[in-house]
């Protein structure tokens, strides 16, 4: 018996695919699988959307209803996760939009939540070109020391955050008590 005839070959392939699908299902345990994601980006995106909801910006020059800008500075590894998180959601009645920039200088006039990708965070702050009233967010450790306002902390596979309240208030931002309570650390 040498090579299979074409028909038998493709039939064998079908059986193997079926077997794999079966094994994939049967191996699944019954009951709820706890929430798990592969990469941190969807969780970061969810946090940025939440920050936009629980922070109040000073009187914006924009009209009421003008979108809140969530910006990413540096290499973008979100693969659309931030756009998907922002889509269809509002913060204080305002829609959100996403902007990407290579450096702070490219940010433009208005940015409300600015996330620094790890590669861009080194030496990025303090940034004279930063739009006024922007909430700066980065991944720790060391982001607060470097001059940021909110540091995302990854510990044992879970993500929480720390706030430098003094710096945020100095920029005219007001952080809701709810967010302060949820923070792992608040520096005043």
Residues at the contact surface with other proteins, assessed by CB under 8 A: 1-4, 7, 9-25, 27-28, 33-40, 42-43, 45-47, 49-50, 79-80, 84-86, 89, 154, 156-160, 178-179, 182
CA-CA-CA-CA torsion sign (89, 92, 94, 99): negative
Among 46, 36, 185, residue whose Cα is nearest residue 115: 46
Q: Residue 128: exposed, middle, or buried by beta-carbon count in 10 A (0-12, 13-18, 19+)?
A: exposed
Among 175, 58, 113, residue whose Cα is nearest residue 183: 175
Smallest distance, Å, CB 169 to other proteins?
Answer: 20
CB nearer to other proteins: pick between 18 and 170:
18
CB nearer to other proteins: pick between 102 and 131:
102
Tokens linked to 187: 């520096």
Smallest distance, Å, CB 8 to other proteins?
Answer: 9
Smallest distance, Å, CB 60 to other proteins?
Answer: 23
Q: Residue 131: exposed, middle, or buried by beta-carbon count in 10 A (0-12, 13-18, 19+)?
A: middle
CB nearer to other proteins: pick between 79 and 169:
79
Who's near 6: CB < 8 A, 6+ residues apart? none
Who's near 3: CB < 8 A, 6+ residues apart? 9
């Amino acid at each position: 018996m040498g090579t299979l005839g074409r028909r038998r070959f493709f039939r064998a392939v079908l059986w193997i695919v079926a077997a794999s699908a079966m094994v994939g299902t049967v191996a699944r345990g019954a009951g709820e699988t706890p929430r798990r994601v592969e990469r941190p980006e969807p969780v970061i995106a969810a946090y940025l959307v939440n920050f936009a909801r629980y922070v109040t910006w000073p009187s914006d020059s924009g009209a009421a209803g003008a979108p809140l800008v969530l910006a990413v500075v540096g290499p973008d590894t979100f693969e659309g996760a931030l756009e998907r998180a922002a889509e269809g959601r509002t913060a204080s009645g305002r829609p959100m939009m996403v902007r990407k920039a290579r450096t702070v200088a490219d940010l433009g006039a208005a940015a409300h939540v600015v996330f620094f990708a790890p590669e861009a965070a080194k030496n990025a702050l303090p940034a004279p070109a930063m739009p006024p009233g922007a909430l700066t967010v980065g991944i720790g450790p060391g982001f607060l020391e470097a001059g940021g306002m909110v540091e995302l902390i990854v510990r044992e596979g879970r993500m929480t955050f720390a706030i430098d309240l003094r710096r945020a208030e100095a920029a005219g931002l007001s952080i809701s008590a709810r967010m302060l309570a949820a923070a792992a650390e608040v520096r005043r």
